Amino acid sequence: MTDNPNILGKHVAVLGAGRSGVAAASLALREGANVSIWDQGGPEIFGKVPAGVEKHAGMKESDVEGFSADLIVISPGIDTYSPLAQAFAAKAPLIGETEFASRYYEGGIIGITGTNGKTTTTELVSLILKQAGLGGTPCGNYGAPLSEILLAPDVPAAIALELSSFQLETIDDLRPKVSIWLNFAPDHMDRYPSVEAYKKAKLRIFENQTAEDTVVMRHGEDLGKLLPKVITFCTENRNADFFSDGVTISQGGRILLDLEAETSLRGLHNAENAMAAMAACMAYGIDPALIPAALQGYAPPPHRCELIRTLDGVEYLNDSKATNLHALQSALRSQNRPVVLIAGGKDKELDYSPILTILGKQAISAVTFGQIARPLADLFNGAVRTTAVGTMEEAIEVARSLAPRGSSILLSPGTSSFDQFTGYEQRGDTFRDLVHQLL
């Protein structure tokens, strides 16, 4: 990793004036660069940009005419495959905000990636690092941008760094001491030209690791040949280094944690997240005896199989964070009650046929809504009785009529929310509000 590169007097151009872009511009300014920030929005977008940064609103491809810079820092929300980003990249070296900030961070990094479970795992790693007195601030794709962490008065000795494919595709030197690979499934096909391109971006988390580093990965994942030491976890194969039956977590047959007695984590998907976090922190050198106290009382973030309420003997679960097929599969697999599934949203051009086997096994019926409601219902009807509706409110009403006492109504959309909502959070909040209004 590059140590404190000198950008004094150099021109650093930041693309995107959101939180990550503002943090990167502030860090570049602190390091003595001449900083400009560019955004497709209007002048009002620059409200939080610090003084001394040159501002360019209405960013477009033609702006590259006459443009020059020593370095371009791109925000993760800007598609690097887009003609706009490519036009700027032709003018100067282009890296992401996380890569840029990592060049000025001297502590230890536990990096977390995967299609699903990243945020919960990042929070668990953070709690364990904090318990060990290392700070452990969660950052990156979850929490604050890494640049923002470096601008704070007390920089942590170690961080839990969640890394999306968007951030990993723009790294050069970023090197986690321990990397976590949770899982992989097709996603973001509206941004990537192929599944292979998406996976290639995620695999970059290992690119700069050496034999002195460690990879923690789900047993059975095909990652090719890896140079770092590999530690595996699993809920299905007891030959993995860490194993959980959903109740306890063990290493080599020795129980390290009782999930039911010592934490609020439930379900096999959360057991996997906990194993990954524990394995990574132990590989970092943390005493496993510290872990139970770190995780005691922890509740997973909202919108991840969140129990909203129990009404007439039926549980209502909010898993709005399930924005892809793998997350939907994980949610179904983790249930121990008969399920009435609510799924649907934006059409991301994903193939949902692999879901049919587990859908037929775990669900008694399904309700689909949103842009993809009708084609999804046509497919799901091959496994369970499925009803297509237009809105979330209609979906809850129909699901309630289909759910017997002792079952669960599970909102696990399996796709993004942008057909009807601003994001999965608003979708989940709407579900929660509507469920609380039921009489």
Residue 346 is predicted with a pLDDT of 93
Tokens coding 44: 């009002």
Contact 98, 171 (CB under 8 A): yes
Among 241, 268, 236, CA closest to 254: 241
pTM of the model: 0.79
Topology of domain 105-295, CATH: UDP-N-acetylmuramoyl-L-alanine:D-glutamate ligase (3.40.1190)
Q: Where are the beta strands (DSSP E) in 242-345?
A: 242-244, 248-251, 254-258, 306-311, 314-318, 339-344
- The token pair that represents 103 in the structure block: 């060049």
pLDDT in tens, the chain (439 residues): 445 689 999 999 999 999 999 999 999 999 999 999 999 999 999 999 999 999 999 999 999 999 999 999 999 889 898 999 999 999 999 999 999 999 999 999 999 999 888 999 999 999 999 999 999 999 999 999 999 999 999 999 999 999 999 999 999 999 999 999 998 876 665 677 788 888 999 999 999 999 999 999 999 898 999 999 999 999 989 999 999 998 899 999 999 999 878 887 877 888 999 999 999 999 999 999 999 999 987 877 788 888 899 999 999 999 999 998 888 998 998 887 899 999 999 998 888 999 999 999 999 999 999 999 999 999 999 999 999 999 999 999 999 999 999 999 999 999 999 999 999 999 999 999 999 999 9
* Reported CATH class of domain 306-436: alpha beta
State how far the alpha carbon of 222 is from the alpha carbons of 44, 169, 182, 188, in Å. Answer: 46, 19, 12, 20
Two tokens, residue 171 = 């790294």
- Residue 137: which H helix or E strand, with range? strand 135-140
Class in CATH terms, 11-99: alpha beta
Active-site residues: which are they? 118, 141, 188
Q: Which residue has the tokens 């979708």?
A: 427
In the chain, domain spans: 11-99, 105-295, 306-436
As beta bridge partners, residue 215 has: 179, 230
Q: So what's the pLDDT on residue 291? A: 95
Fold agreement (11-99, 306-436): no
pLDDT computed for residue 2 by the predictor: 46
Contact predicate 413/322, CB 8 Å:
yes
